[in-house]
Amino acid sequence: MPIPLYSIHDLFVSKGNEDTLTIKQFDIHRGACYVFAGRMGSGKTTFLETLYKRKKTQRGEIKFEEKDIHKYSNREYQDQIAIVPQVFNPPWGTVRNYMSKTIGTFSHIRNADKRMDEVSKKMSLTHLLTRRMKSLTPGEMRWVLLATMIGADSKVLFIDEIELHLGKKDQATLLSILHRKINYDGVTLIASTQNKDLLSRIASVTITLENGRITSVRSAGKKKGRYSNRKRK
């Protein structure tokens, strides 16, 4: 068996007196697309935020490449993951400045301006580069965020509520680009959605969450299986 990229054990996250996420055991492997599906409040965002260290855990262990994520420095860990969150507060300045500066924070990117130009052309947003970030519509803002994080060429790409603010045409374009990133570049995509059918074409594994617990796991080409919240021995 290949070594998992992420290995989650006995994970428990709460907010006040409310249990928001409980996962006993789950592995995420390289170069695949993991889709976390469920209604609003099911725990999707909490799970993603826990994986990228924005949400504290009350119990449990998350390993990334066989090392506890909390033993990585923030800089070391953030250099390997790219994040498209649900909520984003845009900075002042132009789209060009934002994209170039953000892509340039990843140490493996040699030439941020060149990479920005490449991904801007690929995602047809060159006409937005001189616009102010704060002047963009929600759809334009989302597209810029997606392009920036796709352009980062990280090992892992997180996208929370992947369909947010995107029309059907942009959704189709995005899925085509992500398909290539996964299958040709070996990127691991971890995405959440309220519409699991949207990602059925590229999903390697679809995980359904309800009330902060995994209720089913379905691998591509296989029937949906029931998930046990009992810890493996």
Candidates 184, 197, 127; CA nearest to 150 is 184
State residue 220's pLDDT score. Answer: 84
User: 13 near 20, Cβ under 8 Å?
Assistant: yes
Cα(57)–Cα(61) distance, integer angstroms: 9
> How many Cβ atoms sit within 10 Å of the Cβ of residue 217?
16
Which residues touch 169 (CB under 8 Å, ≥6 apart)?
A: none
Q: Are 139 and 174 in contact (CB under 8 A)?
A: no
Instruction: Give pLDDT, residue 215.
Output: 95
pLDDT score of 232: 44
Q: Which residues contact residue 111 at a Cβ distance below 8 angstroms, ignoring those fewer than 6 apart?
A: none
Domains (range + CATH), the chain: 30-42+79-221 (3.40.50.300)
pTM: 0.92
Q: Mind listing the pLDDT tens digit for each residue in 68-99?
A: 999 999 999 999 999 999 999 999 999 999 99
At CB < 8 A and 24+ separation, what contacts does 21-24 make? 21/46, 21/47, 21/50, 21/212, 21/213, 22/212, 22/213, 22/229, 23/47, 23/60, 23/213, 23/214, 23/229, 24/228, 24/229, 24/230, 24/231, 24/232
Residue percentage of the chain with pLDDT more than 90: 84
AA identity, residue 155: K
pLDDT at 16: 66
Burial class from Cβ neighbours inside 10 Å (0-12, 13-18, 19+) for residue 78 reads: middle
CA pair distance 151, 153, nearest whole angstrom:
5
The residues near 193 (Cβ < 8 Å, ≥ 6 apart) are: 35, 36, 37, 44, 161, 162, 163, 199
3-state secondary structure of 154: coil
Concatenated DSSP letters for 54-91? SS--SEEEEEETTEEGGGS-HHHHHTTEEEE-S---PP
Mean pLDDT (the chain, rounded) = 91
Beta-bridged to residue 18, according to DSSP, are 15
Query: How far apart are the C-alpha atoms of 50 and 129, rounded to whole Å?
Result: 32
Q: Averaged in consecutive runs of 10 residues, what is the pLDDT profile of the chain (233 residues)?
A: 91 77 95 95 93 90 95 94 95 96 96 96 96 97 98 97 94 95 96 91 95 93 51 45
